[in-house]
Structure 1
């Protein structure tokens, strides 16, 4: 009897008659653009006689990261594409085609968000500062729909549904059995006191944050209005760290987003985020205020300030 182990790796271990046999797992390059170029990368690397470790020497990336790319589970960043061309002598092939990989979009998400969408799945930590909107990973369908319609009021219903479903799918990160990523969100008081939904739906949105917190999947903190000036007053912030790649910083405007991976710049944003966290309420006090606000909305009472 056969039994296959290690389905997410490049090699399967097959049990047969009590013995284990190593079997190389092929990649179906027809599945998607990222999978096609991942398969091509592995073919050229193995043709050059290079192991994952040897190929990666001189780069910032880890062995797991490269294996995921070769199997189409991650998209090839431009830095790794250039590294591949240098090591394999492929005359710019991977750099030229890296744009095709980045353009291979998933339904319901803007093109500029693709890098973040993928990065969330592999992050060790995700830390967000949200001064204007409750972050997408925490939104309920009603909240997401309201935001989407406000931004794109002429959208067809199927387009709105695709975007809402895409946003909800991201939250599957919190439904996994493992405990990563560690997620931290600093929210401005106005997100709680200035509802964009009818009171019952606003209560459901806050209940979602409470539920994730009580399951120990997220840590929320609140910045109160009375704080006055504070770090990161301009724009949103999202910092992600990884076990096998450099950290990323992401900030977003209405119709654009900017992903930064320069270590020096990310370090500056990291410092600003830590200072912001220092002036926020504690997670325990923040959760109590969110719970109280949810109960007020459930009872039809407007929440004017958090005290």
Structure 2
């Protein structure tokens, strides 16, 4: 499924977008007659950080970009550009999936052990990404969280997540992190565009026993099924695979608790398992 993914150059040169961002930041700053220190004072960051971002040694964040846009009157240029920069911080094998998320009108996700990245809380993200690899954890976490901006678009995708009950009990990051994550899931309870259903233990054998998968649907292009292995992503538009996984997803949704009952279970686990423990 190469024809609909990003251009190969985007995979091979992730640093180029950082360099371009830094070049533009310096150009706008100098046009405004500001030193790095002066701009830093305006946006409440150090002049040193401004310099590191201008020389592509540091990855900019969304918050930084928004403040710079406001300070330099760029019309949102850096807020738009940072999305592209952060996407290059994702693992190369995952970038195609990020492109699919950005284009989809509907995303159907089945998760067996962890919450889907689009609904992860910041501390949960760090815990998941930090397993066996603490290198550039801050940048990688920022990049994953930036994917969630897909829900801020005017025509944001309809998102369905069927989540195994096991993921509620898999203690990622400890009690406090899990409590924050489950509370985060509950914030979508009244959002008709983001739907969370829990597949309870009592469902027994089910059509998702082979593992997690996503189905991406588009306004005009064929649907795509995406699965993951260790450090590898596997998108396919094979009609037979798409039909099979779409049927499996329908049955998973039918076997899962209703959205309301799911929220009740999440709340119960959050309070009983991860609530304040009295010594």
The alpha-carbon deviation at position 143 of structure 1 amounts to: 0.8
Q: Does 1:147 align with 2:147?
A: no
Please report how far the alpha carbon of residue 80 of structure 1 lies from its aligned counterpart in structure 2 after TM superposition: 6.7
How far apart are residue 200 of structure 1 and its match? Answer: 2.2
Q: Say which SS state the counterpart of residue 281 (structure 1) adopts.
A: coil
- Unpaired segments of 5 or more residues in structure 2? 15-86
Paired position in structure 1 for 2:263: 287
Q: Which has the larger radius of gyration?
A: 1
TM-score by length of 2: 0.67
Deviation track 1:63-91 (CA, whole Å, cap 9, x = no partner) reads xxxxxxxxxxxxxx74479xxxxxxxxxx
SS for the counterpart of 2:195 is strand
Question: Contact 1:179–1:217 at 8 Å: present in 2 too?
Answer: no
Counterpart residue number, 1:191 = 167
Q: Per-residue deviation at 1:108?
A: 2.5
Q: CA deviation at 1:175?
A: 3.0
Shift in Å, 1:236: 0.8
Give the counterpart of 2:144 among 163, 167, 173.
167
Matched with 1:222 is 198
Partner of 1:233: 209
| Structure-2 change in CA distance of 1:213 and 1:174 (3 Å) | farther
Whole-angstrom CA distance in 2 between matches of 1:189 and 1:128: 14
- Asked if the contact 1:200–1:300 (Cα under 8 Å) also holds between the matched residues in 2, the reply is no
CA-based RMSD: 2.2
Q: Deviations over 1:116-148 (max 9, x none)?
A: 101111211001000011111111111111111
Q: Quick check: 1:124 aligned with 2:101?
A: no
2:255 matched to 1:274?
Answer: no
Whether the 8 Å contact between 2:189 and 2:259 is mirrored in structure 1 is no
Unaligned runs of 5+ in 1: 1-76, 82-96, 302-307
Name the structure where helix makes up a greater proportion of residues.
2
Normalising by structure 1, report the TM-score: 0.62
Cα 1:259/1:143, change in 2 over 3 Å = same
* Distance of 1:207 and 1:144 partners within structure 2: 15
CA distance in 1, matches of 2:259, 2:244: 24
The number of residue pairs the alignment matches comes to 205
CA contact (8 A) 2:126 2:141 kept: yes
Q: Does 1:138 align with 2:119?
A: yes
8 Å contact 2:88–2:95 — kept in the other structure?
no
